[in-house]
Each structure stands twice: as C-alpha cells, then as structure tokens.
Structure 1
Amino acid sequence: MTDRARLLELVNQIAVVRGDVTLSSGQKADRYVDLRRITLHHEGGPLVGRVMLEVTKHLDFDVVGGLTLGADPVATAMMHAAAAQGRALDACVVRKEKKAHGMQRQIEGPGVEGRKVLAVDDTSTTGNSVLQAVDALREAGADVVGVGLIVDRGAHESIEMTGLGLSAVFRLEELDIG
C-alpha cells in the first residue's frame, strides 16, 4: 500500500467527523475533517510529511510553514521527513498577529527573508487562513512559491486567484464523507 493510500485510509477512519460544526470561515457544515487527529497521530504525522513532500516535489522551497495551529504539525512533519531523506528543510510558524512582547515577531523559527517558502495548512474551505499566512510571509520578505494542503475542501479557486499554485494531497470528494 502506498503512503498516500494509507493516509487516505487513516483520514477516513480517524478524521472524518459527522455533526454540526462552525468552520473558521464562519460557514456551517454537517461534517468536518479534523486533520489534527491525523497530523498529531503516531502513524499519520510521518505519513503527512512524506506525502506532502511528494505532492510538492515539483516546487523549489527551503522553508515550509503556515498559520498556527493547523499548519504547525504539517510543517514539522515535512521538516522531519525531509531530514530523513537527507534534505535540509526549515519550518516556521506564522502567528495571526505580531506578539506584543519579547521579540514582537509574527513568524517564529529560522528567518524567511529572501527564502523560498511553501505555505501550508492541514485543510481549507475558503483559503483565508493560508492566504493570511502568505501575506505575513511576503511582508517578512519571503518568496512564497505555492500552497500545500492535505485536504482541499474548496479553497483551490481563491488560492489560484492570487496567482499561487495549490498542491493538495486530497480533494474533498475523495474522502468518505457521505
């Protein structure tokens, strides 16, 4: 079984939740894909790293990150998977806004200025969160080369309207959410 096939199996077994939920966009849904159940899972997390590297292999980047919290385990899984392959890949965490204390940074981790960055998130319906991260990364001087998602729940249109390409492991219709 391929890593992608096993990841899909785990997403369907562990992450698909039925019931009324309010998405981060404010939209209502009767089913939800809770990918933190996958990205923080002992088998799912490593699979995410390997599969995300595979779907983004056509892109040239040396940093990966996105808006905290959904993107954090995706970025670190990719960083660890890359290290296992002998590839240097840094990760970063993008806060919703700059800290009011300490170093007053919005982006944590190794610097992104002048570097090629892949913006990631676990899943997205509208693209708002990952595009907020893209804006912050660009403001910090990063060259954002694309967006990566584990599951695209419909964000591809808004992401592609910005001129960025989207690499998603799965589209919503591939999941067992019937």
Structure 2
Amino acid sequence: MSNVDVIEILKKSDALLEGHFLLSSGKHSNRYIQCAKVLRFPEYAEQVLSTVVEQIKDLDIDLVVGPAMGGVVVSYELGRQLGKEAVFTERKDNTMELRRGFEVKPGAKIIIAEDVVTTGKSTKETKRVLEELGGEVIGVACIADRTSEDIGMPIYSAIKLDIQVFDADECPLCKEGKEKLVKPGSRQFKELGM
C-alpha cells in the first residue's frame, strides 16, 4: 500500500482534521490527525498497519507495547498481524506505568506501538518504563510519523506527515483569533489546568 492509499484512508475516515489544535506537547497546530477515526474501522486498521508490519516483520520482536490511549488498538493490531504478544502502558497520577499484571521479561525485544509520533513524549516515557523493567526497546511503529527531530530510536510508520507546529506564544492562529483552540487528544495537562 502506498502513501497515497494511506492518505485516502485517512481522508475517508475523517482522521485528518483542519483547524486550530492544542497538541499533547502543549504546542499548537493547524492540522491534527485523529487516528481513532481510522482505528474504528477494523479493515482500515488492518490495511494501514499492514504497511508498518511489512517494515518490521523481520525484526527480532518479543513484545508489542502501546501507550494508552492512542497506542492500545495499534499495539493489538500489530501484535495480531505479527503473531506477537501485545500489551499497553497507561498513566497513573500522570506517570506512565505498566500495570494490569503485564510483564516484561528481562532482555525482551520490544517495539513500541503508537498512533501518531510528534515530539515522542509518550514514546520516550514508555521506553523508560520498559527499560527499567529490563526490556530492550528496538524502535517505535506508528500510523503517522509527524516528528521534526530525532527521538532517539528508529520510527517505522505507515506515513510521514509534515504538519506545521507552533509554540503557543508564537502561534499565528492565536494571533489571527479566527479559530477557537481545540484539544482533541487524550493527555491531561496539569500545567495548563486541563
């Protein structure tokens, strides 16, 4: 499946949004990819993530781990296609943890599963947790790679998207004042009072 097909699926599922968005990093953007809209259709999830499976199928992977919320469905679909165990991390008191009796065996080769990687904040938090438990993170697999900087590990994605991101105090959309700021993601912000 080519990038054109992935874009087509994102558009068909209303996953690529235009507007004024508050990202989980605290930055602002004029576009947002809401992968939950793609993942609500199992056939789309399978098609989009099959492009990622093609890239990682020959890697030595013992476990697929997705940070909640966005990585949960992605991890299970990747695990299904790869025939590997899939679990997730989640936040407790705003700290990423591996819970629910899930385990990481010492030396386990782990691929982190995400819906979108932008700054890599959740990915890096998840990596830290998994490494503290003795796992070896070999990369991150995602639907959309929106990174503009190296996050310190290989990224395997269905599509690379270049979407403008602005610091809140430099945001031209805020200065224009035409579009209301919307926070579509799931992460809560202590420092912003959200």
TM-score by length of 2: 0.72
Is 1:141 aligned to 2:134, yes or no? yes
Contact 2:65 2:112 (C-alpha < 8 Å) held by counterparts: yes
Aligned-pair distance for 1:55? Answer: 2.0
Contact 1:112 1:137 (C-alpha < 8 Å) held by counterparts: yes
Could you tell me which residue of structure 2 aligns to residue 85 of structure 1? Answer: none
Q: Between 70-79 and 40-49, report the one with greater CA deviation.
A: 40-49
- How many residue pairs get aligned? The number is 159
Larger relative contact order (C-alpha < 8 A, sep ≥ 6)?
A: 2
Aligned-pair distance for 1:27? Answer: 0.7
Contact 1:92 1:108 (C-alpha < 8 Å) held by counterparts: no
Could you tell me which residue of structure 1 aligns to residue 175 of structure 2? Answer: none
Could you tell me which residue of structure 1 aligns to residue 117 of structure 2? Answer: 124
After TM superposition, list the pairs within 5 Å mapping 1:49-128 onto structure 2.
Answer: 49-82=49-82, 88-97=83-92, 106-108=98-100, 110-114=102-106, 115-128=108-121
Identity of aligned residues (%): 26
Look up the equivalent residue of 1:11 and give its one-letter code. L
Per-residue CA deviation, residues 140-167 of structure 1 (Å, 9 max, x unaligned), is 2211111112111125x331xx3x2221
Q: Matched residues in 2 for 1:15 and 1:119: separation? A: 22
TM-score by length of 1: 0.78
Is 1:10 aligned to 2:9, yes or no? yes
Contact 1:150 1:169 (C-alpha < 8 Å) held by counterparts: yes
Q: Matched residues in 2 for 1:98 and 1:111: separation? A: 20
Contact 2:116 2:143 (C-alpha < 8 Å) held by counterparts: yes
3-state secondary structure, aligned to 1:132: helix
Unaligned residue ranges in structure 2 (runs of 5+): 164-194
Look up the equivalent residue of 1:95 and give its one-letter code. E
Q: Between 165-174 and 88-97, report the one with greater CA deviation.
A: 165-174
Q: Matched residues in 2 for 1:116 and 1:109: separation? A: 19
Could you tell me which residue of structure 2 aligns to residue 154 of structure 1? Answer: 147
Look up the equivalent residue of 2:134 and give its one-letter code. G
Greater Rg by CA: 2
RMSD: 2.4
